[in-house]
Structure 1
Amino acid sequence: MALPANAEMLKKVSDTDGFIAALDQSGGSTPKALLQYGVAESAYSNDEEMFDTVHAMRTRIITSPAFTGDKVLGAILFENTLDRQIEGKMSAAYLWENKQVVPFLKVDKGLADEANGVQVMKPMPELDALLDKAVAQGVFGTKMRSVIKLANPQGIADVVAQQFEVAKQICAKGLVPIVEPEVDIHSPEKAQAEAIMRDEIQKQLDGLADDELIMLKLTLPSEDNFYKVLMEHKNVVRVVALSGGYSRDDANAIIARNHGMIASFSRALAQGLSAQQSDAEFNQMLGDSIEAIFAASRT
C-alpha cells in the first residue's frame, strides 16, 4: 500500500541523500537576492513588481531540469511563493507532484531588536491561520529563524526556548518544524555560543513528546561534527546547515567534514545564477551548483 504523502515525505527527508534548497528570501532580503541574480532595484518600482520578479527567478530555478528530487530533498518557500502558481499549479503541489521535492514554509515574521547578544523572533499572532493554510496546500514542514551574536547564556536560552515553544505549536498541526537558531559566523564568540546553544537545544529536545518531531538548521560549527549528539536524538529528523555568508566552496568544504549534516543553502545555491544567462547557461550553472552541494552533503 502506498504511504500517505506526509509519511512518504518524512521518509524522503529523513533517509535520502540530498540537501534542502532555501528559496525563502522574504521582503527584507529579496532586493539582495535579486541583485545577486543580476536584477537592479531600478528594474521594479514597488513591492508587487519585486515579488513578481523574485517569483520568476524561483520559478526558473524550480522548473529547471537540473532541479529534481534526486538531489534536492526539499525546498523552503516564502508565504508569497506559497500563494502563487508554477506552471498552473500551486507552488507546494508543483514541488511535490512534479519534482518529488518536499515543500517547507518559512513562518517567522522577522527578528526583534538585539538584546542579550541575540535577536529572538518577532511575535507571530497569525501563525495558526498560516499553518492551516500550509496544511491545506500539502506543505510538510516549516522554518523559522533567530540569530545569536554573542555567547550570552540568557540570550541563547531565550532564543532556544522561543524556538521550541513555537515548534510545539507547529507539531500540533501535524507539520515538522525546522528550528533555526543561527549563530552569526562573524561572532567573536562563535564557538562558545555554539556550546551554550547545543546544551540548550539538548534540554529542549529531552522535553519533547515522542510524536513531536523536529529538524534543526544550524550554522556550520567551529568544531567538526559538533552536532553529532543532536543528530542522534530520537526527536530529530535531520540536522541541516545554513551557509551563513560563507561562499559556496567554503560552505561545501566545511559541510563535507561534518558527517551526517546536510546543506540548506540559499545564497550559496543561487551563487553564479543570472537573469542574463541563456536557459542552457542557467541550467548548467544550477546543475553544477546542485551537484557540488549534493556531493558535500553525502559525507
Structure 2
Amino acid sequence: MALNQEQLNRIHTGKGFIAALDQSGGSTPKALLQYGVQESSYANEEQMFERVHDMRTRIIKSPAFDAKYILGAILFENTMDRMIDGQFTADYLWERKGIVPFLKVDKGLDELKDGVQLMKPMPDLDSLLQRAVDKHIFGTKMRSVIKEANPAGIRSVVEQQFDVGKRIVSMGLVPIIEPEVDIYSADKKQSEQLLKEELRKQLAALSSDTKVMLKLSIPTETDFYRDLMDDPHVVRIVALSGGYGQAEANEKLGLHHGLIASFSRALSEGLTAQQSDEQFNAMLARSIQSIYEASIT
C-alpha cells in the first residue's frame, strides 16, 4: 500500500506541530476533569466517550485549529470511529481542515521492569490497523516509558517499538515510535544517551524504503537528536510535553532546532466546557500560536 504522498510531504517538510488528542481509557476522566466536566455528569463509559468526543470536536472545529499551524492530529480509537458533521473524524481533519490524521494504537503500559514500562500486548492490532486504513488514517502512535538508565530495559523498549512498527509499516501506515523518557527521572540524560544508541541501531537495520517518525521527550542536551533528523528513514521527530506545563514545554522545545511539538495536556491547558465559544477559541488560538512558535525554531 502506497503512502499518501501529499500527507507524507506535509509531515516531512511542513511548518507547524502535531496536536495529540488521544487521551484514552484511564486518562479520559482526568482529561475531562481538566476541561471542567465532572465525573458525575456521565453515568457510564459510553457517555464518558460522548463527552470527550464533544470536547475534541470543539477543538477540531475551532477556527484556531488551523492547518497553518497544525500539521497533524493524533486520535484515540473511539474518536476515529465517531463523526464530525457527518464525516468520520479522520476525513473531516484531512478534507475540511488539511490536517493529517494519526491513530493511537497501544493498549497502555505494562508493569515496571528493568527500569522501563513496555507496551501491553496488542492482540487485536492487525484488525485495528485494517480499520485505520479503511478510515484513511496516515500513521499511528504507540508509547512506552523509560524510568531509569537501564541498558537492558531501554533495549527491550526500542526493540518492541520497532517490531510493532514494522507491522504497522506493512499496512501502509507510518508509525510514530514513542519511547518516552520520564522527565522526572534521576538519570534522564544517561537514559537519553542509551536510547539514542538503540534508536540508531534499529534505524540502521530498516529496509531502505521504510519510513518512521519518532516521538521523544524534550532532551536534556540541546539539539541532541539533530543527527537522527537526517536519517533517511525518519520522516519527522516530534516532542511530547511529558508533564511540563505549556510555558515550560514551549521554552524547552524552542532550544532545539527542527524538533516540533506533539503536545496533549500542554495544548488543551486552560480550555473548559464552561467557556463561551469566543473565550474558548481565543484561549486555543493563544496556545496554538505559542506552541507553533516553539516548533519552528
Tell me the equivalent position of 2:95. 97
Tell me the equivalent position of 1:117. 115
> Given residue 251 of structure 1, which amino acid in structure 2 is its aligned partner?
A
Q: Deviations over 1:245-264 (max 9, x none)?
A: 00101110111100000000
* 1:33-48 superposed matches below 5 A: 33-48=31-46
Give the Cα–Cα distance (whole angstroms) in 1 for the partners of residues 191 and 265 of structure 2. 24
Give aligned pairs, total: 296
1:79 equivalent among 77, 80, 90:
77
* 1:28-177 superposed matches below 5 A: 28-177=26-175
Secondary structure of 2:4's aligned partner: helix
Tell me the equivalent position of 1:282. 280
Tell me the equivalent position of 2:18. 20
Identical columns (%): 61
Give the Cα–Cα distance (whole angstroms) in 1 for the partners of residues 151 and 103 of structure 2. 29
Taking structure 2 as the reference length, the TM-score comes to 0.99
How far residue 230 of structure 1 moved from its aligned partner, in angstroms, is 1.1
Greater shift, 124-133 or 156-165, is seen at 124-133
Cα RMSD between the aligned structures? Answer: 0.9
Secondary structure of 1:212's aligned partner: coil
Structure 1 unaligned spans of 5+: none
Taking structure 1 as the reference length, the TM-score comes to 0.98
Q: Deviations over 1:130-152 (max 9, x none)?
A: 11111111100000000000000
Give the Cα–Cα distance (whole angstroms) in 2 for the partners of residues 224 and 245 of structure 1. 19
Residue 286 of structure 2 is aligned to residue 298 of structure 1: no
How far residue 234 of structure 1 moved from its aligned partner, in angstroms, is 0.8
Give the Cα–Cα distance (whole angstroms) in 2 for the partners of residues 5 and 18 of structure 1. 21
How far residue 125 of structure 1 moved from its aligned partner, in angstroms, is 1.1
Tell me the equivalent position of 2:226. 228
How far residue 43 of structure 1 moved from its aligned partner, in angstroms, is 1.4
How far residue 68 of structure 1 moved from its aligned partner, in angstroms, is 1.5
8 Å contact from structure 2 (residues 3, 173) kept in 1: no
How far residue 211 of structure 1 moved from its aligned partner, in angstroms, is 1.3
Give the Cα–Cα distance (whole angstroms) in 1 for the partners of residues 68 and 171 of structure 2. 28
Give the Cα–Cα distance (whole angstroms) in 1 for the partners of residues 140 and 209 of structure 2. 16
Tell me the equivalent position of 2:200. 202
Secondary structure of 2:175's aligned partner: strand
Give the Cα–Cα distance (whole angstroms) in 2 for the partners of residues 83 and 36 of structure 1. 24
Q: Flag as ranges the 4+ runs of structure 1 deviating above 2 A.
A: none
How far residue 224 of structure 1 moved from its aligned partner, in angstroms, is 0.9
> Given residue 45 of structure 1, which amino acid in structure 2 is its aligned partner?
A
Q: Deviations over 1:270-296 (max 9, x none)?
A: 000010000000000000100000011
> Given residue 233 of structure 1, which amino acid in structure 2 is its aligned partner?
D
How far residue 115 of structure 1 moved from its aligned partner, in angstroms, is 0.3
Tell me the equivalent position of 1:9. 7
Secondary structure of 1:280's aligned partner: helix
Tell me the equivalent position of 1:253. 251
> Given residue 53 of structure 1, which amino acid in structure 2 is its aligned partner?
R
> Given residue 22 of structure 1, which amino acid in structure 2 is its aligned partner?
A
